[in-house]
Amino acid sequence: MEIHVAGRIADADRGPAREACSIERAFSLVGTRSAVLLLREAAYGTRRFDDFVRRTGLTEAVVAGRLRELVSAGVLATEPYQDEGKRTRQAYVLTDSGRELLPVLVALGAWGQVHLPRRGASLTHQGCGALVLSDLTCEKGHDVSDGDIVASA
Amino acid sequence: MEIHVAGRIADADRGPAREACSIERAFSLVGTRSAVLLLREAAYGTRRFDDFVRRTGLTEAVVAGRLRELVSAGVLATEPYQDEGKRTRQAYVLTDSGRELLPVLVALGAWGQVHLPRRGASLTHQGCGALVLSDLTCEKGHDVSDGDIVASA
């Protein structure tokens, strides 16, 4: 796969144009270890603050701050719940927008499985047990994994 | 898409098993803003140290350190080049392993285009001009974008 640069950002030295890049914008929102771990746990079904803390090994302060950030970014949403005789608390669940981020995490994990082999979790297709891979297509349904991509602005 | 947790990591509170997760391993290697910007530039065809510095806006020290790290991780490789009457220098090019990371960046950018809309670069399929999207398949070729994924260890 080759990425060709076109339009405004083809002027390679116009930093600002490159900084408008959607890759960088998205990374600035979800590109922290704590965001990745929290999104991974949310994808695994974790919903409660204490469980996020215990299952990520992050501090309560980091989890609280990052969850707030992910909620305000619309990636997570809060849902009130109440345990018997306890006060109402907030659970955190992936929004549609958050779900649409999972392919990014899975693509990253799929790469890690191949290039950073080590005993650990692997992601497989429930239907057939084969390893999950990431692929690139276009809105018209063409496979662009081996095709050419144009980055333009 | 749902991710189901199975095996060793289904015991949600066994942090170490979760930390073996290939998503986290890969993120720890390439999950820094500087790594993302340098890989983006490499994908755009940037090869020379000075160009990486100018086009990312990162400091020379950060670029030098991160390029070294990406080379030792096998994501970038060095290629000597020599300008007329200058000493030999190293150019940096994506390896096959580095190329296989591009779907992760494109998936991240595709998400950003939809969920963080702002004027900026967009990634389209050269063949037809349609927006590039990321998809998940399995080794057997099944589409798992809407399918179920099992994370196990």
Tens of pLDDT, residue by residue, chain B (153 residues) = 566 666 665 665 655 445 557 788 888 888 898 999 999 899 888 999 999 999 888 999 999 999 999 999 999 999 999 989 999 999 999 999 998 888 888 888 888 888 876 656 677 888 788 888 777 788 888 877 666 777 776
One domain for residues B125 and B105: yes
One domain for residues A145 and A105: yes
Tokens of B26: 């890969």
One domain for residues A8 and A25: yes
One domain for residues A40 and A23: no
**A37/B24 Cβ within 8 A:** yes
What's the CATH code of the domain at B69?
1.10.10.10
Q: Are B150 and B8 in contact (CB under 8 A)?
A: no
Show residues of chain A in contact with B104, CB under 8 Å.
Answer: 104, 107-108, 111, 134
* Structural domains of chain B, count: 3
DSSP A96-153: HHHHTTHHHHHHHHHHHHHHS--SS-EEEETTT-PBEEEEEEETT--B-TTSEEEEE-
Question: Of A125, A111, A74, A79, nearest to A96 (Cα)?
Answer: A74
Question: Of A29, A28, A13, A22, nearest to B122 (Cα)?
Answer: A22
B149 in reach of chain A (CB within 8 A): yes
Q: Which residues contact A84 (CB under 8 A, 6 or more apart)?
A: none
> What's the whole-model pTM score?
0.80
One domain for residues A22 and A40: no
Q: Are B153 and A120 in contact (CB under 8 A)?
A: yes
A127 in reach of chain B (CB within 8 A): yes
One domain for residues B139 and B86: no
One domain for residues A114 and A153: yes
One domain for residues A45 and A59: yes
Residue to mutate among B115, B122, B142, B143, with most A CBs inside 10 A, is B115
One domain for residues B86 and B59: yes
One domain for residues A42 and A88: yes
CA of B30: which chain A residue's CA is closest?
A108
- The parent domain of residue A8 ranges over 1-30
Show residues of chain A in contact with B26, CB under 8 Å.
Answer: 108-109, 111-112, 115-116
One domain for residues A51 and A16: no
One domain for residues B20 and B73: no
- Above 0.85 for ipTM, yes or no? no
Torsion from C-alpha of A103, A105, A106, A111, nearest 10 degrees: 120
